[in-house]
Amino acid sequence: MNLFDPSALECFAAVVEEGSYAQAAVRLSITQSAVSQRVRGLELQAGTVLVVRSKPVRATAAGRLLLKHTKQLRLLHTDLQYDLHALTPRANDQNIEAERISIAINADSIATWALPAIDGLVSSGLNVEVIADNQDFTQEWLREGRVLGCVTTVKQPLRGCKMTRLGSMRYVAVASQEIANKHFSDGLGRQNFNAVPFVSFDRKDHMQTELVRKVLGLKNVSLNQLFIPSSEGQVRAVLSGWGASVVPELLVRGLLEQRSLINISPTNSVQVELFWHCWNLDSAILHGLTKALVENAGKSLKN
């Protein structure tokens, strides 16, 4: 069986990750022509097309398999470096050239509990790339082999992966004190749910309608929505009086205590159960990531 050239695999991965041949060339410090030749050689060896020449460049189904294989090689290489580093007499004097380790996490977790969980790993030299997406879609990054782990709402392990429950994130409806006093003095209800816009993360964000449906006891509800693709940005917009929003209680706990924000439906909330999925590999890096995320989630999320 012919083995794939690791440098060609890395070149191919760079094209997909950077989204273009030109940016891959810059990242690898080689010419764009060399990038094209390596990818073409890999396609000839694989016997199929690996990339779709679009903007940005996308991997084909076969390409996604090779991308996953490349990322697994990166992980194993980083594990080996750390193991060798620990066995070297002058380990503290040596530098580990860590491979990039990609994980997908929902934006609300990034804004609250997830980054502190991996502080220690990053400080120890782990080269992490955190990709943000909605918690209902992060598993697609893992399914396609573009990351080695993800925080998601999916309860069943993906093929070739293992899963650990993290806990539940509580979401509450908030508004500025001025907006709350003017429109929600009696709380959120049928008479006022459309008094102001709801600030959503993006069009994948159904948290606003889910909580309002729960409050109103309706199957369907139409909201006037504004979109800001940032968890912290949503909070800033609410503080500025743009409207109401349904956000993680963890993110606004201090502002609620200060009365800068008001919970406009204190008897209602939405609980989102989160899980950590990662490749089922015997890897010290994966073990460390899993342990750190599970431990910090246990401190921050509802069990």
Residue 236 forms part of a structural domain: yes
Query: What does the alpha-carbon distance between residue 70 and residue 79 come to, in Å, rounded to a whole number?
Result: 14
Residue 288 forms part of a structural domain: no
Q: What is the mean predicted confidence (pLDDT) over 267-271?
A: 96
Q: Which region among 63-67, 147-151, 245-249 has the lowest average model confidence (pLDDT)?
A: 63-67
**Predicted local distance difference test score (pLDDT) of residue 85:** 63
Counting beta carbons within 10 angstroms of the beta carbon of residue 243, is it exposed (0 to 12), middle (13 to 18) or buried (19 or more)? buried
For CA atoms 29, 32, 36, 41, give the dihedral sign.
negative
**Predicted local distance difference test score (pLDDT) of residue 92:** 47
Number of neighbouring beta carbons within 10 Å of residue 23: 17
Dihedral pair phi/psi, residue 135, rounded to 5°: -60, -20
Dihedral pair phi/psi, residue 279, rounded to 5°: -60, 145
Give the predicted TM-score (pTM) of the model: 0.80
Residue 240 forms part of a structural domain: yes
Angle at 280 between CA 147 and CA 138, to 5 degrees: 30
Query: What does the alpha-carbon distance between residue 223 and residue 193 come to, in Å, rounded to a whole number?
Result: 8
Is the pLDDT score of 94 beyond 90? Answer: no
The two three-digit tokens of residue 191, written as one number: 């008479």
Residue 211 forms part of a structural domain: yes
Could you tell me the pLDDT band of residue 38, with boundaries at 50, 70 and 90? Answer: very high
Counting beta carbons within 10 angstroms of the beta carbon of residue 59, is it exposed (0 to 12), middle (13 to 18) or buried (19 or more)? buried
Dihedral pair phi/psi, residue 78, rounded to 5°: -65, -40
**Predicted local distance difference test score (pLDDT) of residue 81:** 73
CA atoms within 13 A on the CB side of 28: 25
Q: What is the mean predicted confidence (pLDDT) over 231-239?
A: 98
Residue 29 forms part of a structural domain: no
**pLDDT tens digits, residue range 108-122?**
999 999 999 999 989
Rounded to the nearest integer, the mean pLDDT of the chain is 90
Contacts of 205 (CB under 8 A, 6+ apart): 134, 227
**Predicted local distance difference test score (pLDDT) of residue 75:** 84
Is the pLDDT score of 268 beyond 90? Answer: yes
Q: Which region among 2-16, 155-169, 199-213, 218-232 has the lowest average model confidence (pLDDT)?
A: 2-16
Could you tell me the pLDDT band of residue 1, with boundaries at 50, 70 and 90? Answer: very low
Residue 139 forms part of a structural domain: no
Q: Which domain holds residue 255?
A: 169-272
Structural domains of the chain, count: 1
State how beta strands 261-263 and 127-132 pair.
unpaired
**pLDDT tens digits, residue range 201-219?**
999 999 999 999 999 998 8
CB 251 within 8 A of CB 231: yes
Q: What is the mean predicted confidence (pLDDT) over 259-273?
A: 97
Could you tell me the pLDDT band of residue 157, with boundaries at 50, 70 and 90? Answer: confident
The two three-digit tokens of residue 29, written as one number: 């410090």
Could you tell me the pLDDT band of residue 95, with boundaries at 50, 70 and 90? Answer: low
Residue 19 forms part of a structural domain: no
Query: Which CATH number goes with the domain that contains 201?
Result: 3.40.190.10
Is the pLDDT score of 265 beyond 80? Answer: yes
**pLDDT tens digits, residue range 41-80?**
999 998 899 999 888 888 998 998 898 888 888 888 777 7
Residue from 128, 109, 98, 104 nearest 278 by CA? 104
Residue 122 forms part of a structural domain: no
**Predicted local distance difference test score (pLDDT) of residue 289:** 93
